[in-house]
Structures are given as C-alpha cells and as structure tokens.
Structure 1
Amino acid sequence: MNRSHDILFFLLSMTVCFYACGGPSRSRDSGKRFEPRLQRSLQAILNQPTLRPMTIGLKVVSLATGDTLFAHRSAGLFHPASNTKLFTAVSALRILGPDYRFLTTIFADPDLGIRGDTLSTNLYLYGRGDPFFSTDDLDRLAGTIAAFHPVVIAGDVILDDSYFDTVPLGEGWMWDDVQYGYSAQLSAMTINSNCVQVKIMPGDAVGAPVAVRISPSTAYLTFDVKATTMSAGSESIAPLRVQRHWQARRNIITITGALPLGAGERLFIRTVEEPGLYAALLLKEQLHARGVYVTGRVRRGKTPYRARALATHKSEPLTTTVTKMLKDSDNLSAELLIKTMGQHRSGETGTTQGG
C-alpha cells in the first residue's frame, strides 16, 4: 500500500462521532471479535478519563476486504458534523495527490516598462486557493519584488481571484455567524484565514478609552472605539463587545463595553469582507514598508495573457494542509479544498458543486 493509500485508509477508517452524554454505557459491539492489536490500541483511547462523559461511535473497516476491524457503538445515530471533513480530505488526497501544492503568484504586465527606478506596470496578485497563505508568505513575495530595487511602481495592485467562483460562504452556513473566524469568507486569494486579530488593552486610567491593536496592521479596516477603562468589576456590568458591521458588509469594527484597569490583553478574531482585496491592499502596504511606492489603487481584475511572473509562493504539500485542516476542524480550508478539486477536475472556475 503506497503512502496516499495509507492516508486514505486511516482517514476513512477513523470516522469518529462525539456527543455529550450523562455517563458511560455498555457497547453493543463488545461481544464481537476484532483484530486484537487494533482493538487494544483503540480501546485504550476510549478508556481515557477525558472521554468518559461522552458518547462515542467508532467503526473501522478494511478498504481491502470490507471486514469490520473494530466497532464501538457503531449502530448509534450521530450528527456527522465535522466528520464530513474526513471525506473532503480523502477526496482531496485522491484527486489532487498528496504532493499537491498551492501556488500564489504576483504577475506584471507583458509590456512592463523600466525607466530608472520606476517600473511601469500593474501588479496582479493571483491566488489559487491556498488555505494557509499568510502575511509572512506575502511579505516574502513583496521582498522578491523589492529586490529588483524599484522605488516607484506606476500602476495598480490588481486582485485576480478568478480561480474560484464568487460564492463567499459554504452551503448551509449560518448567515449571522459571518463575522466570526469559523465563518470566514471563501476566496481564491485567502490570507490569514481571511481574518484580523483585534487585541484590546485597558487605558492608563479609569475613564480612558481602551487601547486597540490589530494584526496585521492595515488600513483595510476602520474602528469605532466606544469602550472605556473602568474600575475592577466593571466588565460584568458592561461586557466588552467587538462587532464587525457584517449586515452592511462593511469592514468597520465597533468596540463597546469596558475593561477593568490593569486587566490583561483580550484577543478577538473577526472576519473581513472581500478578503481578496484585503490581501491586495496588504501587498501594497508591505511594498510601501520596503520603500516601494505603488502609485495606483487596489482593485479587482484579470491577469492578462502572457503576464510576467515576478514572484511565486509554493505551499506545503497537501498532506500538511489536510493535517492542519483536520486537526483544527477548519471550515475555511475544507471549503477551499472542495473548490480546488472542482477547478482541478474541470479546468475551469472552481465551485463547490464541481468539487
């Protein structure tokens, strides 16, 4: 059995469902005879104290023979929930291959012009669905461009997210969860899980506004800070709230409530609207931080035929991406994998239905 088949067997065989329960009960499968070594290993996991308050259903089936190798409450009915990500992972490994890597490229116009320290070109940020592309990765791309030693780039930064369709949410997602990290918008040009970290500290004195920092630092979002610093015990009276204006689809975050004087930093994760444009603005800002001024604006467009590739980021192998997706039960990466499979199979714009 090769490496990809080993991974497929493991993922398919380990479809485990967890649900809270009042106490343990005897397994309906306890009288069956199973493969001894596997049974001992899995039973040791099931016997861990942390799992005793839960109801667990488990069934391990050989893909080669169809035999049941282990079962525990396997006839129980459970909500599949994020166990469906196992099938997404299996499909991705089979369709894309375990060594598949996501590419993110910055292109220039075919007729790029160079005059002194000025490049006359648009920059095209072309994303291909990398779920874990980060500002560090983007900064390395910006560093490659800065190494050409331009001072001015006379053109726009153009987002090309045409690798996927424009449907921003997964099927069945709750519409009023869209400001929270687990419901980040889907985009072929994803960055930092399409979220921003909002870090809040109390001010220097009672009555002072709270201090707010965001990561990454960017002008893509604006903040309306109404929260104040109050004496100890005030947070129960005026709890801290961080709300993005998601109903209006705006990148404005309002902070209300209070933090006690001397309290530690509070961290909130909030999504961004139009994450691809978020990535494009971050590119422009990172170039500026490296002394490269882009004269134009950030906008959406298509990469022209025969565009010149200036810098490309290659992700880790798909096996690593799948491991991260499963370990964190990450909704965004699972949905992006589905769209990637759709693009891979059709050669056209990636869609959920196509995947």
Structure 2
Amino acid sequence: MNRTSCVAALLLAYTPICVAQKHSLRTETALKADAPEKKSKLAAEIETVLAEPAVARAHWGIKVTEMDGKPIYSLNEGQLFQPASNTKMFTTATALAVLGSQATFTTRVVTRGTFSSPGKLAGDVVLVGAGDANLSGRQIPYVSPALRPKVVPGQEPPLGPPALRYLEDMADQVAKTGLKVINGDVVGDDTLYPWEPYPQDWSIDDAVWGYGAPVSALTISDNQLKLTVAPGTAPGAPASVMIDPIAPYYTADTTALTTGPARSGDHVQIDRATGSKVLRIYGSIAVDARPDEEEIAIHDPAEYAAAALKAMLESRGILVTGVARAKHRVATDARGFLLASHEPIPAMEWTRTYAPATPATACINDCGSRTETVLAQHVSPPLIEDMVVTNKVSQNLHAEMFLHNAGAAVLNDGSTVNGARVVRAFLTSRAGIDPDDFVFFDGSGLSGHDLVAPRATARLLQFVTTQPWFAGWKRTLPIGGEDGSLVERFGATSLKDRVFAKTGTLGEARALSGYIECASGKTVIFSIMDSAHTPGSSADRIAMDKIVGLIGAAE
C-alpha cells in the first residue's frame, strides 16, 4: 500500500466518527437554541387565560413592572394599540405638570360698547369662556358611591343642583349692577380655543350623544342636555319628551314616537342631522316601561350658553333688543396634524407651572380702543378636583379641555394640535417615553387614530411616581370595587380597594392600566391592552380582570 492509499484509508476509517461527533454537537446546539426559556408561573397562567377560545383571536399587549421600572412580564409590549380612555392618563398628567393642581379658570360676563345713560348699554353683553369645564350642576369634589345618600327603594333619587346654576348666579350679578337695557346682542365667546369641535377621527355617530359633545372654551353643563322619554297613559297614546335644562335651543320632532303595549320594551331612537337643531325622536316605549333617559350633545355650546343667558337676563327685567349668538375663532394652522403635533417646543420650562390663559376679549384694565366692563364672573374649582371627576368617570369633554388649556397656557393658542404638542413634549423630553411608542390626536382617546404601546403606558405610570404631584394624580384613578369606572369590577375579589387603574373602551379595543397592591405587600405597575376582540363581547374584559388577579397574586 502506497502512502496515498494509506492516508485515504485512514480518512475513510476516521470520517464516520468525525461526522457523527459534528452531528451530535450541532444537534445539541440546535436544541439549546430552539428550546424556549423556562416560563415563569405568571407567564404560564396568563398564557392559559389568553388561550381561551373567547379571547384567543384578539390581539393582546401587556407590560408589568416593579415601581422602579424593573420588568416582570411582557407580551407585545412595543406594539401599538388603541388606548381608548387610557389616553386620559397621558393628558391629565401633562396638564397637572404644566398648570399645577390649584389652577383655576375664570368665566366673565363683560360689556362691549358704551353706556348711553345709566343702566342702558349701547353694545353687546358677552359671556367669555375661559376653559372652565364645570359650569354645571356636577358635584365637586367627587364623592365615592359608598358615601352618597342611599336611594330608598320605590322613591326617586334626590335631585342634584340645577345644571345652569352658575349661569343663573352670573345673571343675578349682572342684574345687581343696575343694567336695564341692552341695545345689542348677548354673545357666547369661546375664542380662547379655535372652533374645532371634533378632533380627527371622532365618529359621526358619537356627535348626537353626551359622551361625544363638541369641545368649546365656553362649556355649559358638560355641553349636553338630559332628554327623558316617558310612555303615555295607554298603548297608542303619544309618549312625552322632556329636555333638561329647559332653554330655547333644540326642537323635538316626535311625530313617529308612540306608546307601545305592555311588556313590549323600549325601542326609542334619536338622531340629529349634522348642523341641525331638530332632534328626531322615534320608535316606541312600552306603557309599563320606565322612562328612557339619554344625554344629548349640544351642537354649539357657545350659542346655547348665550341663548340661556339672554333668557335669564330677560326674566330679571333686562330688555335685550338683539339676538343670542356665538363668537367663534376659526382655525388657521394649515399644516398636517402629525407634522405640527411633532414640532418640538424648545423653550419649554419644566421647573415652573404655566398660568391658565386669559381670553383676549376679557380685558379688565387695559382695553385699548375697546370699552369693556366686567359685570359678573365665576371662578372654577381647582384643576385637581376636576381631574378626579375626569378620570373616575372617564369624562371625554373635560379631558379635551385639559389638552386645549395646556396648549393655551404654554403656546398662547388653545388649539387641538398645540395641546398635542405640549403632551408630546412632556412625554418625550420629561417622562422619557420613546417618541415612536405613541401618537395622540385628542385628549380623551375617542379618536380612532390614537395609538400607544403598553410599555409607554407603563413608563408613564412609573415616571409619575417620581413627581411631587403623584399622590394627587393617583387619587384621580378609579379604585377597584369602590368608585368610578371600576365600581363594578374587582369588588367581589381580594383585589377590592387594591387596584388603582384607568379603564378604556372604544369599539373593539379595550385597555386597563395602573397600579396593583399585591398580596405580597408590593405594588406593581401594569398595562393591559387588546384590540380586535369579538364585537359585542365582554369576554376580553373578563380575561383582563383575571390577568390582573394573577398579577396581584403572583407578586
């Protein structure tokens, strides 16, 4: 055998062994790479919940951290979801940081003209909106359901304060000045904000209802009316309609509304054509049914406020020769919303709070060429008390006004886009949130364009714990089984009074984010979001609550 043959023989003899060894090493490496990391008990339990058929088809995102931000569990944490009313947490935190907890807003009634003789005005009386969300009958501060007067079975609940009480008070102040004749108009002025009643992608279906009320710097009674439909005395008889507060504004068309037979149910429908002041109320309500109560949005709040004030002044013996009308300011920013809202605010000072903007039309001392006199005014409750209401009951309009007021204070223009600029500046430059992890088109979350990653929400919740105003802000969050939008959730579990979180629901999207005081005594941060769940189903909410329970028990 020659040398070459010998080498060949040796190679043949050893090759199978070497190949076998290499194959063994590759297999071991592949097994190590392909084997999933050992799941925590919490991860396995959450996975089981999300595998349930009723929720498995939805898209889920979850982020759980310790209070210092240390990760505990995550699922699709960087993907974008519709936050719905979780948006209010970002808006209220920004407004609190910018304006301060004790900021107030002063609504004024001023004259614009001259007095031709004592008590006789040649000009207009103007109600100037300053961004006060609480010119209403709402009780401030917020009272937890457990502390409210008990309703006696069979009796009607006690009536709250009149919806227009503060407007009535200002009308009294005007009457006490001795004003007798207004040779001009009564004007509702909401020019502190440009007239942008509906942010981008608010559904046209929402515009009829109170939760979709238009945004205005002159807001009266949450810019909504209470409409009550009651059955007549017998089937076929006309049903009755009552609008509260009563003011000359909407006309009700009830020609297609009737009383139905006993036990036929409530089939009342309400619609209003865009821009119309006619409410079409149709369908039927059973003769034995309870009255149907609905909250109807006021189409033009400033015009409504002017009409209501005019009627009040006239009832106090003041002659008004003109009409009630609104004064709006049209938007002039022609840039695209995304471009404008992402524009940095280089001079933003985070070491100070900004005073709420004063409407330019309400001059007091230096009026230039105009002659104006303040006849009446009303000062709002402190900002923090309104925030408690806003987050507890998820009040959309108030959240929008926080957004506009922040823009007005910082940038001297209360437009939607300027409010969004301030929120973005706060979240990116102050709270350290990735600018690609969120986009907001409004302040309430009613816009379908709003998107947020769960990790951005968790980061916000972690950041605010480091701020001196954290205790006040946390007080605004609903408490599980206790109040707000969580009053009927977690009440029958060990988590009652231990979950502090903001809810969110919009179409087929849902969110719940906040803090859990766990069984271990430790508090953790969580954000759970889902989208594309089955329409009309609450299975995702049930699954969400189960996951919160698992987090609370595990940590």
Q: Is TM-score (shorter-chain normalized) higher than 0.5? A: yes
SS of 2:188's partner is strand
Amino acid at match of 1:261: V
Cα offset, 1:76, TM superposition:
5.3
Task: Name the residue aligned to 2:199.
Answer: 170
Taking the TM superposition and a 5 Å limit, the aligned residue runs for 1:1-355 are 27-28=42-43, 57=62, 59=64, 62=67, 66-68=68-70, 73-75=73-75, 77=77, 79-109=82-112, 111-115=114-118, 118-134=120-136, 135-226=164-255, 227-235=257-265, 239-245=267-273, 247=274, 249-301=275-327, 303=361, 306=367, 307-347=372-412, 349-355=413-419
Task: Name the residue aligned to 1:52.
Answer: none
Is the contact between residue 200 and residue 265 of structure 1 (CA under 8 Å) also seen in structure 2? yes
* CA–CA distance in structure 1, aligned partners of residues 95 and 111 of structure 2: 31
Cα offset, 1:167, TM superposition:
1.2
* CA–CA distance in structure 1, aligned partners of residues 327 and 203 of structure 2: 30
Task: Name the residue aligned to 2:15.
Answer: none
Q: Which moved more, 1:105-114 or 1:205-214?
A: 105-114
Amino acid at match of 1:326: N
Amino acid at match of 1:91: T
Over 3 Å counting, the alpha-carbon distance change for 1:150 and 1:111 in structure 2 is closer
* CA–CA distance in structure 1, aligned partners of residues 172 and 62 of structure 2: 50
Is the contact between residue 109 and residue 304 of structure 1 (CA under 8 Å) also seen in structure 2? no
Cα offset, 1:111, TM superposition:
2.3
Cα offset, 1:189, TM superposition:
0.8
* CA–CA distance in structure 1, aligned partners of residues 87 and 230 of structure 2: 39
Q: CA RMSD in A?
A: 2.6
Query: Which digits, 9 at most, give the CA deviation of each residue in 1:192-212, with x for residues without a partner?
Result: 111111111112333221111
Over 3 Å counting, the alpha-carbon distance change for 1:61 and 1:114 in structure 2 is farther
Cα offset, 1:293, TM superposition:
3.1
Cα offset, 1:263, TM superposition:
2.7
Amino acid at match of 2:250: L
SS of 1:178's partner is helix
Is the contact between residue 170 and residue 335 of structure 1 (CA under 8 Å) also seen in structure 2? no
SS of 1:111's partner is strand
Is the contact between residue 194 and residue 272 of structure 1 (CA under 8 Å) also seen in structure 2? yes
* CA–CA distance in structure 1, aligned partners of residues 410 and 170 of structure 2: 29
Cα offset, 1:324, TM superposition:
1.1
Task: Report runs of 4+ in structure 1 exceeding 6 Å deviation.
Answer: none
TM value normalised by structure 1: 0.76
* CA–CA distance in structure 1, aligned partners of residues 362 and 93 of structure 2: 35
* CA–CA distance in structure 2, aligned partners of residues 321 and 140 of structure 1: 20
Structure 1 unaligned spans of 5+: 1-24, 31-54
SS of 1:140's partner is helix
Cα offset, 1:81, TM superposition:
2.1
Amino acid at match of 1:230: G
Amino acid at match of 1:94: A
SS of 1:323's partner is helix
Using the aligned pairs only, state the percent identity.
Answer: 32
SS of 1:338's partner is helix
Over 3 Å counting, the alpha-carbon distance change for 1:304 and 1:207 in structure 2 is same
Q: Which moved more, 1:118-127 or 1:206-215?
A: 118-127
Task: Name the residue aligned to 1:10.
Answer: none
Amino acid at match of 1:338: L
Which structure's CA Rg is the greater one? 2
Task: Name the residue aligned to 1:39.
Answer: none
SS of 2:417's partner is coil
* CA–CA distance in structure 2, aligned partners of residues 98 and 125 of structure 1: 26
Query: Which digits, 9 at most, give the CA deviation of each residue in 1:18-50, with x for residues without a partner?
Result: xxxxxxx953399xxxxxxxxxxxxxxxxxxxx
Is the contact between residue 200 and residue 267 of structure 1 (CA under 8 Å) also seen in structure 2? yes
* CA–CA distance in structure 1, aligned partners of residues 105 and 393 of structure 2: 19
Query: Which digits, 9 at most, give the CA deviation of each residue in 1:94-120, with x for residues without a partner?
Result: 1111111112111012523444x5444
Amino acid at match of 1:243: D
Q: How many residues align?
A: 296
Q: Which moved more, 1:260-269 or 1:277-286?
A: 260-269
